[in-house]
Amino acid sequence: MNPVVNLDDYIKALPKTELHVHIEGTLEPELIFELAQRNNVSLPYASVQALREAYAFTNLQSFLDLYYAGASVLITEQDFYDMTMAYLQRAHADGVCHAEIMFDPQTHTERGIAIETVFSGIARAVRDMQARTGLTSYLLMSFLRHLSEEAAFETLNAALPLREAYGDIWVGIGLDSSELGNPPEKFARVFERCRELGFRLVAHAGEEGPAHYVRDALDVLHAERIDHGVRSADDPALVQRLIEEQIPLTVCPLSNLKLCVVDDLAKHNLADFLRQGVLVTINADDPAYFGGYVADNYLAVAKALKLSRNELAQLADNSIIASFLPIGRKAALRARVRAIAQ
């Protein structure tokens, strides 16, 4: 194979998975306006431009406030389909071969949208995209941690009858939204139930919250993968454990920058983690809000942290290892990474 000269082309050519993306966070302002018009929802912004200008966040909460406002335009099954299809097309263009997509039913059921509508629209887009391009996706139904554990149980119970129809792609459970003040143990019982039901488990921890939230996500929730986890660096013994047990972190560099988790990408600890042997991966989180999809995130850290092409290939390889794909598909994708790696 000829070496790919341009760095952007090289990143896009690397087969990779995306493991930390919130489908509601992929809603671009243009689509928000289109859906608002289609559904007669009024928005507190005069134009696409005015909405984009509101994306100047100071922390996680300032983003979440806007994020929930944006999601209010999602009403019909077709809306969820259109949102998901738009994301999958962008991911495909970035060289994503497999995505594990988080979605928050509570953001919608609280507004009176049926949970079936949410599942059906997202799953139909996933299946269409797979048939069309081979890009596969799994779904991680996520609980909003600022709500109660009881509300999480209600969501789980409402969703379980849908497992028969969507169980081939709905493989896991996640935990997201406001981290500070909502520690992992708040959801210990519902995660235990999900584990008994055979779901794969992931949880956000150590984004704004302290390193011990990462420990608790592992020990109390039995999360197999930590979303973000950048604050683990505050606890060297925890970092050692992440390395020894090869627990994946789904890091989202542009999100960390935009939400002021780091003030400069050049100071991001992703490169240190990678070089120490932590199973770190690169992801977009909420790309419509944070200024970039997954390839943009690879490119930004490649430049800011001076990553070599081999290290970028390692990150793509990590994303495959850290996925919930069956072992045979992982082996095939990893062989493709090795063929491209420079």
Nearest residue (beta carbon) to Zn ion: 285
In the complex, least distance from residue 287 CB atom to Zn ion, rounded to whole angstroms: 11
Per the listing, tokens 């997954």 go with 294
> Min. distance of Cβ 159 from Zn ion in angstroms?
20
Return the axis-axis angle of helices 29-39 and 77-93, rounded to nearest 10°: 160
* CB < 8 Å & 24+ apart, contacts of 269-272: 269/230, 269/233, 270/230, 270/301, 270/305, 271/301, 271/305, 271/306, 271/307, 271/311, 272/233
Q: Which residues are catalytic?
A: 207
Nearest distance, CB of residue 228 and Zn ion, angstroms: 7
Toward Zn ion, which CB reaches closer, 17 or 120?
17
Q: Which is nearer to Zn ion, 7 or 66 (CB)?
A: 66
Torsion on CA atoms 221, 173, 231, 264, rounded to nearest 10: 180
Structural tokens at position 153? 């149980």
The reply to whether 24 sits near Zn ion by the rule CB under 5 A is no
Query: For Zn ion, what does the binding mask look like between residues 269 and 308, x meaning CB under 5 A?
Result: ----------------x-----------------------
> Quick check: 201 and 224 in contact, CB under 8 A?
yes
Q: Pick out residues in 163-192 that bind Zn ion (CB under 5 A).
A: none
Which CB atom, from 285 or from 311, has the smaller least distance to Zn ion?
A: 285
268 versus 330: smaller Cβ distance to Zn ion: 268
- Rounded to a whole number of angstroms, the minimum distance from the CB of residue 176 to Zn ion is 5
Smallest distance from Zn ion to CB 204, Å: 6
Q: Which is nearer to Zn ion, 45 or 191 (CB)?
A: 191
Cβ–Cβ < 8 Å for 129, 88: yes
Please name the helix (run of DSSP H) or strand (run of DSSP E) that holds residue 20, with its range, or none: strand 16-22
The Cα 259–Cα 183 span in angstroms is 20
Q: Residue numbers of the site for Zn ion (CB under 5 A)?
A: 285
